[in-house]
């Protein structure tokens, strides 16, 4: 499967625990985007990363949330001390190019991670 791979598909955490969401982009893609989808809503941009660099994290909460895309391995979205309001679907997307891209490149999405906080 050469698509965007996210795991786990479902993640359950208790309040105060940490959640780690993983994303492997499509082969040949070096740009990763994380989005959050609350129930009955569209997606909201969180963060854009290239290998080893955070390009734009303007959509990510300042506290408890962090993201990385190391030279080797998947991109990780990390949520510390989770609260009930963090319950959502978290989608990762990738594209071959980023800022210098023209508009017509679709972002290819993974199947998402559904995070539930007990």
Partner 1 sequence: AQKITQTQPGMFVQEKEAVTLDCTYDTSDQSYGLFWYKQPSSGEMIFLIYQGSYDEQNATEGRYSLNFQKARKSANLVISASQLGDSAMYFCAMREGGNYQLIWGAGTKLIIKP
Contact footprint for partner 1 (CB under 8 A)? 31, 33, 35, 40-45, 48, 55-56, 59, 89, 91, 93, 95, 98-104, 106-112, 114
Measuring CA to CA, which residue among 33, 37, 24, 57 is closest to residue 115? 37
| Of residues 14 and 99, the one with the C-beta less far from partner 1 | 99
To partner 1, the closest distance from the beta carbon of 90 in angstroms equals: 11
| Of residues 7 and 45, the one with the C-beta less far from partner 1 | 45
| Of residues 40 and 72, the one with the C-beta less far from partner 1 | 40
**Nearest 10 degrees: Cα torsion 21, 26, 29, 34:** -30
**Which stretch of DSSP H or E encloses residue 115?**
strand 113-117
* Contact predicate 83/69, CB 8 Å: no
| Of residues 72 and 103, the one with the C-beta less far from partner 1 | 103
To partner 1, the closest distance from the beta carbon of 42 in angstroms equals: 3
To partner 1, the closest distance from the beta carbon of 104 in angstroms equals: 5
User: Which structure tokens are listed for 92?
Assistant: 């990762």
To partner 1, the closest distance from the beta carbon of 89 in angstroms equals: 7
* Contact predicate 32/94, CB 8 Å: yes
């Amino acid at each position: 499967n050469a698509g965007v791979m996210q795991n786990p598909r479902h993640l359950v955490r208790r309040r105060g625990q940490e959640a780690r969401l993983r994303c492997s982009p499509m082969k040949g893609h070096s740009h990763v985007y994380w989005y959050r989808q609350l129930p009955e809503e569209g997606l909201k941009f969180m963060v854009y990363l290239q290998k080893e660099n955070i390009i734009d994290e303007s959509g990510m909460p300042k506290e408890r949330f962090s993201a990385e895309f190391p030279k080797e391995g998947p991109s990780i979205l990390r949520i510390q001390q989770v609260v009930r309001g963090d319950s959502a679907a978290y989608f990762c997307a990738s594209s071959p190019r980023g800022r210098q891209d023209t508009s017509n490149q679709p972002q290819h999405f993974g199947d998402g991670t559904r995070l539930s906080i007990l």
